[in-house]
Amino acid sequence: ELFKHKITIKEREKSKNVLQAMYNISEAINISQTLDELFKVIHKAIKSLVEADDFYIAIYDEAEDSVFFPYFNDRTHDSLPAKRYSGQGLTEYVIKRGKSMLLNQEQVFELRDKGLIEVIGGISQQWLGVPLVIDNKIIGVIAVQNYVKIDAYDENDKQILTYISEQVALAIQKKQNEDLIRRNISELEEKVVERTLELQKSEEAYRVLTENSVDLIM
């Protein structure tokens, strides 16, 4: 009974952490000024739930069949990976399968040997990738990996990341839309300024022409 009680307390504490992480991500939508700030909050929230020193966010463009990495915190990379088209990395594997994947090094090699994936970058002991889905459409992937421990993650961790992935996807989509609207407004304002300057120049040219015409008549 005491053992069951301890398990229950641990599960409750984990649930509290998950809810807090989701709340922090939701709040970040309003607080963050940029997508990069939002990504950092998401990373911090996920680190409160699982080991996530090595973590990245990938965004999938279905029209281009491409993947790019706006946030990539990984000990094996000094910079963001290049955008990929029709790639065969683990990220694309999750996108094609449409479900969360927890893989160890041996399983990664098996997938590679079967021609299902290409090994890109450093090979971790464990890799956990979760699709970001909105309205049954995959918009990207969040992934954590561990280069040291062979038991860093388990099925419970996969369930937790899968559970909060919807909140992450909504946060990213909303911030992307806000940024797009902001850019459109900025571009519109620039066009208004340019058009105003053009009109002012036209009016000035017309005034000069009119004055010259009057001088010629006189």
pLDDT in tens, 23-73: 999 999 888 888 999 999 999 999 999 999 999 999 999 999 999 999 999
Residue type, 151: D
Q: Token pair for residue 67?
A: 């993947």
CA distance 129 to 102: 7
Over 60: is that where the pLDDT of 116 sits? yes
Confidence of residue 198 (pLDDT cuts 50, 70, 90): low
CA-CA-CA-CA dihedral for 198, 201, 205, 211, to nearest 10: 140
Give the burial string for 26-61 (b: 16+ CB within 10 Å, else e): eebbeebeebeebbebbbebbeebbbbebbbbbbbe
The pTM of this model reads 0.77
Confidence of residue 196 (pLDDT cuts 50, 70, 90): low
Angle at 98 between CA 80 and CA 153, to 5 degrees: 65
Mean pLDDT of 170-198: 63
